Chain A
Amino acid sequence: MGQGRVELIAVSKAFGARSVVKQVTLQADPGEMLILVGPSGCGKSTLLRMVAGLEQPTNGEIRFDGRSVLDLPPQDRNVAMVFQNYALYPHMTVRENFEFPLRMRRVDSRERAERVASIAEMLALTAVLEEKPRALSGGQRQRVAMGRALVREPSVFLMDEPLSNLDAQLRVALRAEIRQIQRRLGVTTLYVTHDQVEAMTLGDRVAVLRSGELQQVGAPQDVYSKPANAFVASFIGSFGIAFYAAEWKPEIGALQLGTVAAAVPDSVRSDRGSLVVGVRGDALCIATSTGPTTFLAPIEHIELLGSERVLYVRLPFPLWDAKENVAMGSGVAGTVGIRTASGTTAAIGQQLPLEVVPDRLLFFDHAGKALTSG
């Protein structure tokens, strides 16, 4: 162990004239689970394929444990990959699919049988071991793809949206399993997902990509609470974020956000005057009394999540004209979801009295770059 450091150094990839990955420098430490997230088409799969050796970078360097692997074919990189489109061997049964990588490594038949049995059990595929992939459902196929990678003990796992096709329950269960196996084996893992909940809960660190460019790498909590820019802020987080144009008013020593004056940390008292405020649901609380810092916001949409109820409100502040600086996030555009206990009475159209929690606000300049707040 202690093996399996993966380094990408200024890696770029172009297909013809189209630049798909741009100067990505990224490192996964031995045994780390690094999550790659980003919108569709941002180059996540391409990045994984370059690490696997299926695609040659146009520029840059890829190293395993300090050694360049660019001239190694996929066979010699000792990676296991879950393909986004599964790539199961259609003429082999599930068992044979699992056994194939082991056979190619000359694992003896007794050990093969043991490993296949335990993987099949873990993925709830024991009953279909003798079936061909064609006879399986989409979710089962995806689990076979998963199993074919997990049955090995590679130095790097590459997983391209391995849980995207599963129902919520199975997804949560397998997420935990993957994490456990990965920890137990101590195998460095690059894990691609669309799902930001997965990104937040599964990994040691999260790398956010956007049109081939790396936006930010960090612990999930840091990426959530200290996003490097408005794009990351809008991509990470479940219940939406809205961006407003605000004005720093030195004469009152506060930030003018629509009609509300909010106290803000010293560090963002910029001299620039005009700035952008990102507001997530957790930066708002329901006001119990009215005052100069409270305001009313209409509820536009209600989501019931079992024990919680999420109220999507539209804040009466001037919206920031974000151009292409933000992701098409969850929730209704321009609204922010506030989590409340499910007992709360609320109806669509109701005016909710709110107050901002100043130290949960996020601050950006008009280009979308975060203003460091600490």
Chain B
Amino acid sequence: MRSDGNQSALAGLLLSMPAFVGLAAFVAMPFLAAVILSCTDAQLNSPLAMRFVGTEQYRRLLSDPMIRRALANNLVFAAVVVPVQTVLALLLAVLLELVPSGKRLFRVLLFLPVVFPMSLIAVVWILLYAPGETGPMNRVLSWLTLGGWEPRDFLRDPQLAFPAIILLSLWQGVGLQMVILSAALSRIPKELYEAAAIDRAGAFAQFRHITLPQLRNPLVFTMLLTTILAFRLFEQVRIMTHGGPGDATRTLLLQAVESAFDLQQIGEASALSVVLFCIVLCISVLQQVLLDEGRRS
């Protein structure tokens, strides 16, 4: 028995070697490199030699108003998108259950934005957000307000640029969350609802006492996934606004990319990446803990 166990442990180790090597080569090594670089003042275009500066880069990050704004934007984005998108996705998933036929078609339609590359979506939404009376979004708003809406240039408006980014991100992101929740929803055994109905639970009580608790794990999973994605907000702002106007749509990842590739500030970019990595890591750990707890109970 014992040697059997040892043998299968060995086999397991051997079989997971390729994955480990991959992880080491493409995740651990770059991360280590980033940690090391973040303690230097490395600049690609500088003739000066690279110097070790300790935690200087991190201290600079904390005091940089642009970075603070970027972090604030990421936090606002997460604070808005996570709850709104979760509620929307849940609503869509529940409505989808009520659709008598063509459930699959609806699911695919709602999932399409997830499949499209963000670059394509961004271009389409630039057109939707076109300034002037003829811009589709302006038209819709004008129609909704019975003509009370003054046409605005969404992506160049300091007040509207970030909400515009949030709206498009919601539209793009809700599909993935919806599909995960919808799949979980259709796995809830029918007889739980039957038992609840006999116990006199109405539609709302059934949702609260059966559906929500049964969806706990997928909800935790998708909410934290969306939080992680919120901290990786990048493509939309890079393509649509370049972080502007002003710093209205600046985000941490955009800042990291810009300092690395536009300004060649490798040290600063590395420090930012490390910070981002730590944020994402914390959320992932939280997710694991919550999911494990859910599984145990």
What DSSP secondary structure best describes chain A's contact surface? loop
Closest to B199 in A: A101
- Complex CA distance for A87 and B210, rounded to whole angstroms: 12
Contact status B200-A105, CB under 8 Å: yes
Contact with A along B188-221 (1 / 0, CB 8 A): 0101101111111110010001100110100000
- Complex CA distance for A364 and B195, rounded to whole angstroms: 44
Contact status B201-A132, CB under 8 Å: no
Q: Does A52 contact B (CB under 8 A)?
A: yes
- Complex CA distance for A100 and B197, rounded to whole angstroms: 11
Interface residue from A79, A88, A92, A104 paired with B201 (Cβ < 8 Å): A104
Identify which of residues 87-106 in chain A touch chain B, using a CB-to-CB cut-off of 8 Å. Answer: 87-92, 100-101, 104-105
Q: Does A54 contact B (CB under 8 A)?
A: yes
Contact status A75-B201, CB under 8 Å: yes
Contact status A91-B216, CB under 8 Å: yes
- Complex CA distance for A132 and B213, rounded to whole angstroms: 13
Chain A residues near B199 (CB-CB < 8 A): 100-101, 104, 148, 152
Contact with B along A140-156 (1 / 0, CB 8 A): 00000000100010000
Q: Does A218 contact B (CB under 8 A)?
A: no
- Complex CA distance for A74 and B200, rounded to whole angstroms: 7
Interface residue from B192, B200, B201 paired with A87 (Cβ < 8 Å): B192
Q: List 29 A-B contacts (CB under 8 A).
A: A52-B194, A53-B197, A54-B197, A54-B198, A74-B194, A74-B197, A74-B198, A75-B197, A75-B200, A75-B202, A79-B198, A80-B198, A83-B191, A83-B194, A87-B191, A87-B192, A87-B194, A90-B214, A91-B214, A91-B297, A92-B213, A100-B196, A100-B201, A100-B209, A101-B200, A104-B201, A105-B200, A148-B199, A152-B199
Q: A75-B202, A105-B200 are in contact. List 16 more A-B contacts (CB 8 A).
A: A52-B194, A74-B198, A79-B198, A80-B198, A81-B198, A83-B191, A83-B194, A83-B195, A87-B191, A87-B194, A87-B195, A89-B210, A90-B192, A91-B216, A104-B199, A148-B195
Interfacial residues, chain B to chain A (CB-CB below 8 A): 189, 191-192, 194-202, 205, 209-210, 213-214, 216, 297
